[in-house]
Amino acid sequence: MKPVVSVVIPTYNRRDLVIRTIQQLKEEVGVNGQTPASLYRSSHRPYTGGLPPIEYPGHFIVKMVTNAGTIRFKKKVLFVANALKQHHIGLEETDDGVWSIYFCQVLLARISHTECSGKPHLVA
């Protein structure tokens, strides 16, 4: 059986090759050898600090989602979503006992309180 022939490149040669390749890439990508920090310019537009508050129509019931992702509605605790923590959602009665839950203009769910047990359940 013949031994497997392999080319062994000493570690320091591989490392030097990698360093040279990285240096060449930096020279090609860089702008006249300048660092990104030296080229940075701040924006002329002032930062306003955030988005305007979400407004819902006057007939909506507006609730703030707790840090647990829940709201209290009709003496019940309803889980909405963790992603909506500290955001306002709107509830609109669309039918007798059927409520639509909105975030901005997005319909999240419809719930009903007309069951005999009185517990809310998902309609659609």
pLDDT digits (tens, 9 = 90+) for 23-68: 776 665 666 767 777 788 888 988 888 878 889 999 999 999 999 9
DSSP conformation class of 99: E
Alpha-carbon separation of residue 42 from 2, 22, 33, 46, 47 (angstroms): 66, 29, 21, 10, 11
Report domain extents, the chain: 61-122
Judge whether residue 5 has pLDDT over 70: no
- pLDDT surpassing 90 at residue 96: no
- 92: its two tokens: 């609109």
Q: What is the pLDDT of residue 21?
A: 77
Beta bridge partners of 107: 102
Whether 102 has a pLDDT exceeding 50, the answer reads yes
How many C-beta atoms lie closer than 10 Å to residue 65's C-beta? 21
Q: Please, are residues 79 and 72 in contact by the beta-carbon 8 Å criterion?
A: no
Confidence of residue 118 (pLDDT cuts 50, 70, 90): very low
pLDDT of residue 115: 47
